Structure 1
Amino acid sequence: MSEQTTGRAGIDIPDSRGRTGLDRTGLDLDRNPRVRVRAVELLASGWHVLRKTTLDYQDSDGEWATQHRETYDRGNGATVLLYDAELRTVLLTRQFRFPVYVNDHPDGMLVETAAGLLDDDDPETAIRREAEEETGVTIGRVEHVFDVYMSPGSVTERLHFFAAPYDAATRTGDRGGLAEEGEDIEIVELGIDEARQWIRDGRIQDAKTIMLLQWSLLEGPFAARG
């Protein structure tokens, strides 16, 4: 009779992605003396990880209080605004996003800048990969714009923002994405003035896309030069 395994996936036996020790993240943090992490509970470890952390926090009056925080860890990511400064165009994507569909978006078809998770790559390598997979465009020089925690109340992700020129002649078609990952991506090319109007009328509602488009108009390739 074989011995029965009693461990839990993601803690002491590998989960579907080969990870263990997922219940220890944060226990060794000591960068802030006003925070003491006491315990971490692994709630779920599907493709991404949901944890409940118990911590003691010292407020500005010196009083300590125990808090409980749930965090969703999906890894860090990168995004890039592809632009043609001469033609004053940007290259975006449109794809179905169920989370926005279930939260009042008309059809769930969100217009976005190319983006993806880093996986095991550095941010610049990752965004070159994602840009080519999603738009069919191979980019050359990239500019780092800024890094942002997009939803710091509950999601750990830090998103690295980039911008890069593209050549419309290098496009390989009007659709992108990896079929094996269930991606079905439409490529959308807009004039920057049209893109700005899409923000105003709600056709663009994605935060990272709005941030990069606004940057392009204020400081980037479409900014007025005095």
Structure 2
Amino acid sequence: MPTPHDAPHVRLLDSQVLSDHWYTLRKTTFEYLRRNGTWQQQTRETYDRGNGAVLLLFNRLQGTVVLTRQFRFPAFVNGSADGMLVEACAGLLDGDDPESCIRREVEEETGFRIRAPRKVFEAYMSPGSVTEKLYFFVAEYEAADRVGHGGGMVQEGEDIEVLELPLSEALRMCQSSDIQDGKTIMLLQHAALQGLDKL
């Protein structure tokens, strides 16, 4: 769990843990050195859930991608009719390195055993309040790489549907808001820009 630290432009004044039930919500008061040379006191709440990894499975010859559909309670609370989101496979590192994490998560969620994941970039997903950084991967798949049914971990409340779609259909779903998950849109746009033949 990252902890706040001083830097030449940041002076910590106080830090309190507000909640440590599921992940850690912390309230921190600090002084920030503005560009004009003055110090300004600020207070921020940060939510730490750890870092994660996400991967887009693609089949170069078929022109398809593998995505998942699952219930997301925060999306449901925020107005999604059924709370179901279509996403690229992802998970928290939980102490693993990003590649080990995504290998584990892809097999648990989709049933595919990936051979050669390749990291394409890293990104903070909601840096105004959440500390999480995601490591983005792509990997090619074939039908023979599917070693299980997927579906996720029942004991963790997961009930994941596996989807195989043409990349063109997945991109259309982004435009129609049938795909609303940010990390998934980023990977699909990356695939569109690069072309599946160059991924």
Q: Residue 60 of structure 2: which of 77, 81, 85 is its match?
A: 85
CA distance in 2, matches of 1:52, 1:220: 44
Task: Return the structure number with greater relative CO, CA threshold 8 A, min gap 6.
Answer: 2
Gaps of 5+ in 2: none
Aligned pair 1:198/2:180, yes or no? no
TM-score by length of 2: 0.95
CA distance in 1, matches of 2:3, 2:56: 33
CA distance in 2, matches of 1:210, 1:222: 19
Q: Residue 210 of structure 1: which of 169, 185, 191 is its match?
A: 185
Shift of residue 166 of structure 1? Answer: 1.0
CA distance in 1, matches of 2:96, 2:148: 26
Aligned pair 1:42/2:17, yes or no? yes
Shift of residue 185 of structure 1? Answer: 0.2
The amino acid that maps onto 2:162 is: I
CA distance in 2, matches of 1:25, 1:138: 35
Percent identity of paired positions between Structure 1 and Structure 2:
55
CA contact (8 A) 2:113 2:147 kept: no
Shift of residue 170 of structure 1? Answer: 3.1
TM-score by length of 1: 0.84
Q: RMSD over aligned Cα, in angstroms?
A: 1.7
Q: Residue 36 of structure 2: which of 57, 61, 84 is its match?
A: 61
The amino acid that maps onto 1:49 is: T
CA contact (8 A) 1:25 1:40 kept: no
Shift of residue 171 of structure 1? Answer: 2.6
* Structure number, greater radius of gyration: 1
CA distance in 2, matches of 1:100, 1:119: 23
CA distance in 2, matches of 1:195, 1:173: 23
Shift of residue 105 of structure 1? Answer: 1.3
Query: How many equivalent pairs are there?
Result: 199
Aligned to 2:90: 115
**SS of residue in 1 equivalent to 2:185:** helix
Q: Deviations over 1:102-131 (max 9, x none)?
A: 111121110000000000100000000000
Shift in alpha-carbon separation, 1:138–1:173, aligned structure 2, 3 A: closer
